[in-house]
Structure 1
Amino acid sequence: MKPSDRLHIVKGSITRLTTDSIVNAANNQLRAGSGVCGAIHSAAGPMLQTECMKIGWCPTGQSVITDAYNLPCKKVIHTVGPDLRPWAADKLAESPEWLLASCYDTAISLAKANGLKSIAFPCISTGVYMYPKSEAAHIAYDTIMHRLSTDYDGEVTVCCFTDDDLESYRQLTD
């Protein structure tokens, strides 16, 4: 099977997917937030927040893994994307492009290390964190395809919540 056959682009709620793992677009404190983060925490139940509080912190561009609790997947991989809001962007330790690619890369690494054969990503940093959708889709696609072509033999799903996000990925895969 070609690497491109193992990448799926869908529209919907990531909280309903039955992949082995889903990715949460988290904040550094791993607290329930808005958008996809809030939806994942709400669907998983309060034990997810308890486990996240024990972990305490995740640096931007990195990922951590937790149980999934009430979600249909096995694990939740939390990754912190770069925040491009004007008051936050100048605090980034690395380039936004590198940090965003690292989110996808470290999440896939955790999935692989934990024997998870499928992983679903939301569109990381394109909501509240204001990363341009088209640019973010290119970075995500390139990073995912690199891993599918080299060392991850699982399936990757990108779960888009909006039509704009979906269109950004469709332009790359058509």
Structure 2
Amino acid sequence: MRIEIVEGDITGRTVDAVVNAANSSLLGGGGVDGAIHRAAGPELLEACRELRATTLRDGLPVGAAVATPGYGLQAQWVIHTVGPNRHAGQTNPALLASCFTESLRIAEGLGVRSLAFPAVSAGVYGWDARQVAQVAFDAVRSYAARSPEGGVELVEFVLFSPETVAVFRSVLESGF
């Protein structure tokens, strides 16, 4: 599995799936979540409402993941995951790691070969970008070591700010 770091807008990536740093309601929000909902179009909100009305009546739990079609995105799929909110006392790195491993598990089940992640839980959810990068890279590498050949081949971390890109590159190059 190849890991790349890209500065830019995750909604414009030409990959099989993008990961949405969603809130548990799945009904849109700010940041990456809002951008993905806007770019995908109203069908994404309808698909998320359907999930809430059927299988996820209480919302998507922290660390879990679920997929919907990508609708207006270039990506065929959106994999929604809810990162832990440090401000709400959700400080266990295992919850954050689960966001990455569960997203990869869902992607593999869909036959996804290329996947783009944002910096889940960095920013408004209060996690330090360096810790997010360390947890993310560790989770991706551990998943790759356990997964069979022919699964996800490319994982992109698509980051909006040059500062976050620099942190992720530093962590990746250091081998942490």
TM, length-normalised to structure 2: 0.89
Corresponding residue number in structure 1 for 2:60: 58
Corresponding residue number in structure 2 for 1:172: 171
- The superposition leaves residues 38-78 of structure 1 with CA deviations (integer Å, 9 ceiling, x where unpaired) of 00000000110111111122100000000000000000000
Corresponding residue number in structure 2 for 1:70: 72
Structure 2 Cα separation of the partners of residues 22 and 28 of structure 1: 17
| Residue 17 of structure 2 is aligned to residue 18 of structure 1 | no
Corresponding residue number in structure 2 for 1:154: 153
Structure 1 Cα separation of the partners of residues 152 and 38 of structure 2: 31
- Aligned letter for 1:11? E
How far does residue 155 in structure 1 lie from its aligned partner after superposition?
Answer: 1.1
Runs of 4 or more above 4 Å deviation:
none
Contact 1:35-1:127 at 8 Å conserved across structures: no
TM, length-normalised to structure 1: 0.90
Corresponding residue number in structure 2 for 1:101: 97
Matches within 5 A, 1:74-153: 74-85=76-87, 88-89=88-89, 92=90, 96-151=92-147, 152-153=151-152
Superposition RMSD in Å: 1.1
Unaligned runs of 5+ in 1: none
Instruction: Report the 3-state secondary structure (helix = DSSP H, G, I; strand = E; otherwise coil) of the residue aligned with 2:170.
Output: helix
Query: Percent identity at matched positions?
Result: 38
Unaligned runs of 5+ in 2: 53-58
Instruction: Report the 3-state secondary structure (helix = DSSP H, G, I; strand = E; otherwise coil) of the residue aligned with 1:169.
Output: helix
Equivalent position to 2:32, from 29, 36, 42: 36
Structure 2 Cα separation of the partners of residues 165 and 139 of structure 1: 15
